[in-house]
């Protein structure tokens, strides 16, 4: 074997493909020539597998980067959507705020007009909430439902059925069928049932 720069040069026919080491010297020259085509095909197959592996590793790295970018983009879009949704809701409420400001600027001598103005503002607010999908929960006279109502007080009475709502202290709301806030209520407790 010839040496150059401290490294041995071995021809491809003398490589052991599984270990990438020089094949052991055979004292018989005939067997080395018989194995020579097999060794070269193993080397070319090994090179093909390395190229395929490198291609797959590169492809995997690109797919991981694309996935991470898509995940970040989806999170950003979801955040932006929430921001715009809140903005749209606030836009619907701004005219009501303007009406309250105008109502507060009226003099106390115009009480009847002030009441009419406040009633108009209340109607505007109800309409805005309806457009946003917010609906009031019926309470007074209804049967108590712990999923929709919050009992603040139990009142013993024989004038109403047991667990009937006598008074609504704070209105509850649903938004698109989902509970936003339960109604705070007084509930009848009738020992006679």
Q: In the prediction, which pLDDT does 108 show?
A: 65
Predicted TM-score of the model (pTM): 0.50
Q: How far is CA 124 from CA 98, 116, 183, in A?
A: 11, 12, 21
CA angle 53, 54, 58 (to 5 degrees): 115
pLDDT tens per residue across span 110-137:
777 777 888 888 888 888 888 888 888 9
CA–CA dist 161, 182 (Å, integer): 21
Low pLDDT (below 50) residues in the chain: 1-3, 7, 15, 27-34
DSSP state of 143: B
pLDDT of residue 31: 46
Q: How far is CA 141 from CA 30, 33, 145, in A?
A: 107, 103, 12
| The pLDDT of residue 190 | 85
pLDDT at 71: 95
């Amino acid at each position: 074997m010839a040496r150059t720069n401290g490294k041995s040069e071995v021809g491809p026919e003398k490589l052991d493909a599984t270990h990438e080491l020089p094949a052991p010297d055979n004292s018989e020259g005939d067997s080395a020539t018989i194995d020579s085509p097999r060794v070269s095909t193993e080397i070319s197959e090994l090179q093909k597998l390395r190229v395929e592996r490198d291609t797959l590793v590169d492809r995997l790295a690109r797919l991981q980067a694309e996935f991470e970018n898509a995940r970040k983009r989806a999170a950003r879009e979801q955040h932006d959507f929430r921001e715009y949704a809140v903005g749209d809701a606030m836009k619907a409420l701004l005219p009501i705020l303007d009406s309250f400001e105008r109502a507060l600027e009226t003099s106390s001598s115009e009480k009847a007009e002030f009441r009419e103005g406040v009633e108009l503002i209340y109607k505007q607010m109800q309409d805005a909430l309806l457009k946003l999908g917010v609906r009031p929960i019926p309470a007074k006279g209804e049967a108590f439902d712990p999923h929709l109502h919050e009992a603040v007080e139990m009142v013993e009475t024989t004038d109403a059925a047991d667990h009937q709502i006598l008074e609504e202290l704070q209105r509850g709301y649903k938004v698109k069928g989902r509970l936003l806030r339960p109604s705070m209520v007084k509930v009848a407790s009738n020992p006679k049932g």
